[in-house]
Structure 1
Amino acid sequence: MPYEKGQRLPAEHASKIGHIDLTKSEFVRKIVEDLGLNEESEDYSQRDMPIISVSNLGSTSLIPMIYGIDGSMQIIEEKGKWPFKRYAFIKTAMLRIDFRSLEKIDKNYPNPFELESLMKKSAIYHYTAFPLRNISYEGLNIYDAIRSIVFKSLKQTLEEEVLETLKWLLYEKWAATKKQLEFFECPHCHSPRATLEYDAEVGPCPICGREIFITDCLGFHQDMNQDIARDSIIGTYMIIHETLLMLTGVRLLWDRNKSVLKDSLFIKDGPLSIRAQYSKLVQPIRRFLSHARSCGIEVNILGQEKTGAFRDHFDMISPCIDAGYAFIPSSSYIIREIQGRSETGAPYGKDTNYGAKVFYKFNNYHKMVLNIPIGDYLSDPKENDLIGFERIMATLPSIISNRFEGAIYPIELANGIASLSSYPSAKVLELFASELRK
């Protein structure tokens, strides 16, 4: 690997003649000569690809109310004086729009004043900040500061509604019986049998007696030590907050007006998955979606993956799929063709995903990797297993944006109000923090 660019000196460039020796190697030449096309593996049209037509859903009713959810973060490092301070800002947003509002906006050249008016009327924002290194908060070290900020941030969003959604999931309040909170690792004594009484937000650890938060069960403390937190905590918090913000809308409609919930579509930027120790939220989400479906209420949720391995794979196979068609890959297909690992391990997404992947080709310019919930886990989901599949796919053509390839307008709008750019946002936030700490 070459040396990267520094403050004074340029980056090291790759050799312009390094290929000469390689091309003269008899060993390499023999390998290249023996390379051949494995036609079976490349003929994707003959593989495990059941293609579904979604262009004949004209009689399916569209979903009139749409919510777009997105988030952004910026990590700041002040390098003026050692020890360098490191902290982060996070912003998430949920935007509600309906077709009447959407029809007034030009999807190719939207009027900024119309966008501003729409956002003021129907956007919900959340802001927070985290210390990561060489900073204290309220006299606490990094470890306890982040635990405290996670709890306070969820509690202050929408007047405690987002924290209530976390409790609603973990205690499964939609069910007829009171569910005990599952055991988790105590952030103090590290006993794996920490828990709280039903519906509690804060309480003593049953083992060591020290105060624990309901948010501790998510496991943020497992990604840091007393003085330093991993940057990955910031991305994880953003994903969890986006998920809880989305499900807060679901919960409020579930409690107040289920008929409106049936006619609402929640679109989240990114996959419908939560990884590592934080995946303990996945099973409650699945159980609720299955419960709602059994009650005759299909909760319409859609995730979109703009980048990553699935998007790269879809770009490769999309010539084999006609416009107006979709493909739902099985766990076996994902493991074999995308992850390139043995199928002897765990099925793909069994513990981490609450949505199935859907490759959808609207036309040659709009190819999307979507996620749609299935309730209980299935290794080979079909279109009838995906919750709200027909209505979601029938609605999509009406909310596709022409400003970016594969763009969905509600996500584009949500990103516009949630994003924090590297420049000038990062510099402005650094100056903002420096001024406040003077």
Structure 2
Amino acid sequence: MAYNKGKYPFEAASKIAHMEVIRDPALAEILQGLRSDTPATVPPGFLKTGTVDLSKPHEISTVVTVDGGMTTIPNPKRREKRVAFIQVGIMLLSLEDLDRIAEDIFMDPRRLNAYLKRIDRYPSIVPLSGVRRPGRTLRDSNREILNAILSPPWTGLYDVLEFLLWRGWLGPTSPMPDRSMDCVQCRRVFSLPKQRTFSCPHCGFDHYLSDYLGLTTETEDNGREQLASMVMATVELLALFLLPMKLCKARKLERLREILLIKDGPLMLRAEGYRIVDGVREFVEWLYARGHCLNLVGVEKTGDFAEFIQDFEKQLPEPGDYFLPSRKFVVEQVQGRSFDPGKYRNRVSFGSRLGVRLSPTHMVALQLPTSTLDEGGPLEPKPADMSALGNCIRALSRLTSTKPDNAILPLVLANSAVSLSDRPSAGILDDYLTQMAGATA
């Protein structure tokens, strides 16, 4: 049907302008590239790094999974009033339990539910907009909530935060790192004391240790889902290191080699998360330097690298094959940005990426910590930098799930458990440590 310019002058002008844009050579090439269905060319440098023999034994007997979920809840009659409900869970299951679940696809739901209850949940509500405590600003409401979340009896994760900030693995007589922060009120800098509550020496404003994380600094102007996401990510990271901290304090770090720690998502904490990540890096480097095995993986289910690995899965044809890229490869070939090693900075990661085939149908993107973690890890990581590489891949190859594609069974279970409304268990990690002590008595 002919287009009536006279009847719809503005729409006609818009269409004409749109057609002129498409005729631009640069844009035409982009559109042609979008329509292309030819196979992608394998980027230079994408070669199989090595293969892990999956038939060899490993030492892992227990799997600890950390996962979180978040949803935004508006007031149905006052849409400007919104809160975020977040829940982080730590699930602990034996490898034998996971084998039974994987093998019995028709497992009695009551029996499966018993496994799903083996989780500690940390639920919370974070105000986003239009909701605050009486007489408080939105920022201060969130400051008080974050402090409460990390305090006992809610999560008790302040213990982990202090452990990472003050190098708790070195003992009470070791020198403390110099840490400072901006006052929430007057914005002047002062040294951070080793306390959970303290006052600004300049203006006397009362602070919580959680203020050091900088999560709520801009809440008045930016109180949106990003704040809740950062709170959830922070709780996830602290929960991830809860068991290693307990083992360190109990002087049982040799038992780490029996435990696989799985985090949903990459090994990083964005934005102001570097304030915790530097402590994580030091702790991991200290463990490796003393010969301790830390079986820790971050599983990237989405993102540029996860999609990239799926596009070139034929390059890793056999189970156990893996590709360990350089930072330059990830930045330039995966993310499409230019890489300058002299300007490269990374304060938020504590692991290097790799793609690995776990089974004929499972290709996954992982992150593993390396023995040195300055700027997140070596610019060109080698298998020798990851002492737990074989251990982790062998254990993960037994934990694959087909729902959804390329899924890892402990993460599927943890995600299901985090979404349940059942009340939290009474402390699975403490029970596990108690059983461990009894077994060695």
TM over 0.5: yes
The 8 Å contact of residues 170 and 181 in structure 1, kept in 2 or not, is answered as no
For 2:126 and 2:30, locate their aligned partners in 1 and report how far apart those are by CA, in whole Å. 55
The 8 Å contact of residues 186 and 194 in structure 1, kept in 2 or not, is answered as yes
Q: List per-residue Cα deviations over 1:360-386 (Å, max 9, x = no partner).
A: 123453111111111422111111112
The 8 Å contact of residues 62 and 392 in structure 1, kept in 2 or not, is answered as no
Name the residue aligned to 2:180.
183
Give 1:155 shift. Answer: 0.8
Question: Unpaired segments of 5 or more residues in structure 2?
Answer: 1-10, 34-38, 422-441
- Percent identity, aligned pairs only, is 23
Cα RMSD over matched residues? 3.1
Q: Say if 1:158 and 1:100 are closer, same or farther in 2 by CA, change over 3 A.
A: farther
Q: Please show how residues 31-50 of structure 1 align to structure 2 within 5 Å.
A: 32=29, 43-44=41-42, 47-50=44-47
**Partner-residue secondary structure (3-state), 1:307:** coil
Name the residue aligned to 1:399.
399
Q: Say if 1:211 and 1:116 are closer, same or farther in 2 by CA, change over 3 A.
A: same
Matched, 1:155 2:154: no
Q: List per-residue Cα deviations over 1:389-424 (Å, max 9, x = no partner).
A: 110011111111133211111111110111379xxx
For 1:20 and 1:168, locate their aligned partners in 2 and report how far apart those are by CA, in whole Å. 61
**Partner-residue secondary structure (3-state), 1:362:** strand
The 8 Å contact of residues 264 and 300 in structure 2, kept in 1 or not, is answered as yes
For 2:301 and 2:369, locate their aligned partners in 1 and report how far apart those are by CA, in whole Å. 18
Deviating more after overlay: 53-62 vs 135-144:
53-62
**Partner-residue secondary structure (3-state), 1:117:** helix
Q: Say if 1:216 and 1:35 are closer, same or farther in 2 by CA, change over 3 A.
A: same
Question: Unpaired segments of 5 or more residues in structure 1?
Answer: 1-13, 422-438
The 8 Å contact of residues 184 and 194 in structure 1, kept in 2 or not, is answered as yes
**Partner-residue secondary structure (3-state), 1:413:** helix
Give 1:312 shift. Answer: 1.6
Name the residue aligned to 2:300.
305
Give 1:139 shift. Answer: 3.0
**Partner-residue secondary structure (3-state), 2:93:** strand
Provide the aligned length of Structure 1 versus Structure 2. 397
Q: Say if 1:363 and 1:102 are closer, same or farther in 2 by CA, change over 3 A.
A: closer
Q: Residue type matched to 1:179 in 2?
A: M
The 8 Å contact of residues 216 and 227 in structure 2, kept in 1 or not, is answered as no
Name the residue aligned to 1:384.
384
Name the residue aligned to 1:357.
353
Matched, 1:264 2:262: no
Q: Residue type matched to 1:413 in 2?
A: L
Q: List per-residue Cα deviations over 1:27-50 (Å, max 9, x = no partner).
A: 5599659989xxxx96427x2234
**Partner-residue secondary structure (3-state), 2:69:** strand
Which of 108, 112, 126 does residue 111 from structure 1 map onto?
Answer: 108
For 2:393 and 2:261, locate their aligned partners in 1 and report how far apart those are by CA, in whole Å. 13
For 1:340 and 1:195, locate their aligned partners in 2 and report how far apart those are by CA, in whole Å. 40
Name the residue aligned to 2:430.
none
Matched, 1:281 2:276: yes
Which of 140, 144, 150 does residue 144 from structure 1 map onto?
Answer: 140
Matched, 1:239 2:237: no
The 8 Å contact of residues 181 and 192 in structure 2, kept in 1 or not, is answered as no
Which of 201, 206, 225 does residue 196 from structure 2 map onto?
Answer: 201
For 1:190 and 1:349, locate their aligned partners in 2 and report how far apart those are by CA, in whole Å. 26
For 1:135 and 1:335, locate their aligned partners in 2 and report how far apart those are by CA, in whole Å. 41
The 8 Å contact of residues 166 and 176 in structure 2, kept in 1 or not, is answered as yes
Give 1:309 shift. Answer: 1.3
For 1:388 and 1:109, locate their aligned partners in 2 and report how far apart those are by CA, in whole Å. 34
For 2:73 and 2:133, locate their aligned partners in 1 and report how far apart those are by CA, in whole Å. 16
Q: Say if 1:212 and 1:359 are closer, same or farther in 2 by CA, change over 3 A.
A: same
Name the residue aligned to 1:427.
none
Matched, 1:221 2:221: no
Q: Say if 1:243 and 1:34 are closer, same or farther in 2 by CA, change over 3 A.
A: closer
For 1:26 and 1:403, locate their aligned partners in 2 and report how far apart those are by CA, in whole Å. 44
Give 1:331 shift. Answer: 0.7
The 8 Å contact of residues 132 and 231 in structure 1, kept in 2 or not, is answered as yes
**Partner-residue secondary structure (3-state), 1:44:** coil
Matched, 1:65 2:62: yes
Matched, 1:169 2:164: yes
For 2:52 and 2:119, locate their aligned partners in 1 and report how far apart those are by CA, in whole Å. 32
Q: Residue type matched to 1:149 in 2?
A: I
With normalisation by structure 1, the TM-score equals: 0.82
Give 1:95 shift. Answer: 0.5
Which of 363, 382, 385 does residue 367 from structure 1 map onto?
Answer: 363
The 8 Å contact of residues 77 and 87 in structure 1, kept in 2 or not, is answered as yes
Give 1:259 shift. Answer: 2.5
Give 1:157 shift. Answer: 5.4
For 2:193 and 2:413, locate their aligned partners in 1 and report how far apart those are by CA, in whole Å. 40
Name the residue aligned to 1:338.
334
Name the residue aligned to 2:53.
56
